[in-house]
Chain A
Amino acid sequence: MKALVVDDSMTIRRIVIKALALVGIDETAEAADGVEALAALAGGSFDLILMDWNMPKKSGIETLKELRKQGNKTPVVMVTTEAEKSRVIEAIKSGANDYLIKPFSPDQLAAKVKNVVPVAAG
């Protein structure tokens, strides 16, 4: 299983990748914004996307909407500081499969991942 981790913070990408290992997802790629994410998705397929909301160049919500418009059905978990109910609703309506608010624990992220994809461990 391969995951794409999209966040402009290298620190958060490290933390997310470490948490993914808890559920047996060791194959990961990284993108620092929506533009990089779309390029990565155009160049290969993924089983899961972890997506930040606030990023330079192209935000996570814009990227999500564009992906779904393209017909890309890869499960997306938004991982973001945007905690307002209206933001969560907007993300789900735009095609997000689940939503995780920062700050988060590795166990919380693992639980969200297990909600949207079949994982081997954890």
Chain B
Amino acid sequence: MARVPAPDRSAAAREKSAYFEETLSAGVDVDVKYINPFLESIDNVFAMMLDLQPHRKDIQVSDGNTGGDAALTSLVGISGKLNGVVVMRFPTETALGLAGRMLDAAPSEIDHSVIDAISEIVNMVAGSAKSKFNSDPPLELGLPTVVEGREYKVRYPTKSVWLEVPFDSDAGEFSVEVTFAANGGTDL
């Protein structure tokens, strides 16, 4: 278990949900072991499919705000002995850069091909990570969803704790957020 700091966001973004304030005031303890497989998978997917070596920043508790310039948010659920959601957020320029690398093209705007590429990135990150939990039977991976837009907040269910890790790369900044809990007392 590790104590993680609250995210440093803009004044507007610091309008926190009741959950977040409650979480902070309680001094939440979060088991960070659930995020490590995703960090390893990001390194692997980005190196193999994008020829990139992203640099991770400090882990923090997420408040659900889009923050920064995030324009595309890709989500995928994982279920089984462990239930959770993986979220990756990309500013426009990062999304265009990553899609361009995957498609060997130079997209100039967010279109279907860019959304497809971003969706596949989170799919590979989540799929690659879930196998690292060594669950028997294997965890089930949902189909990814991509949300386009800015200035919105993801309303996380109460009592769930989301961990966020921002990254920087030659294609731009992005972040990953995860929330996971073992099902029925299972400890993976």
Binding site for B on A (CB under 8 A): 8-12, 14-15, 18, 54, 56, 80-84, 86-87, 101-105
Contacts and interface: CB of A to CB of B under 8 A. Distances in A.
Top-7 shortest CB links A-B: A81-B127, A83-B131, A103-B48, A84-B138, A9-B120, A11-B117, A103-B49
22 contacts: A9-B120, A10-B112, A11-B99, A11-B113, A11-B120, A15-B102, A18-B104, A54-B123, A54-B141, A54-B143, A56-B143, A81-B126, A81-B128, A81-B141, A82-B138, A84-B131, A84-B138, A86-B136, A87-B138, A102-B124, A103-B49, A104-B48
Contacts of A84: 131, 135, 138
B116 interface: yes
Interface residues of B, number: 27
B103 interface: yes
B119 to A, nearest CB: 7
B176 to A, nearest CB: 16
Given A103-B49, A105-B48, A83 B116 contact: no
A9 B138 contact: no
Interface of B: 44-45, 48-49, 99, 102-104, 112-113, 116-117, 119-120, 123-124, 126-128, 130-131, 135-138, 141, 143
Given A82-B127, A82-B138, A84-B138, A12 B143 contact: no
Nearest to A12: B120
Given A11-B116, A105-B48, A83 B127 contact: yes
Given A80-B127, A82-B141, A86-B137, 20 more contacts: A8-B143, A9-B119, A10-B116, A11-B102, A11-B120, A15-B102, A54-B127, A54-B143, A81-B124, A81-B126, A82-B127, A84-B138, A86-B136, A87-B138, A103-B44, A103-B45, A103-B49, A103-B124, A103-B128, A104-B48
Contacts of B99: 11
Contacts of B137: 86
Contact of B128 (A11, A12, A102, A105): A102
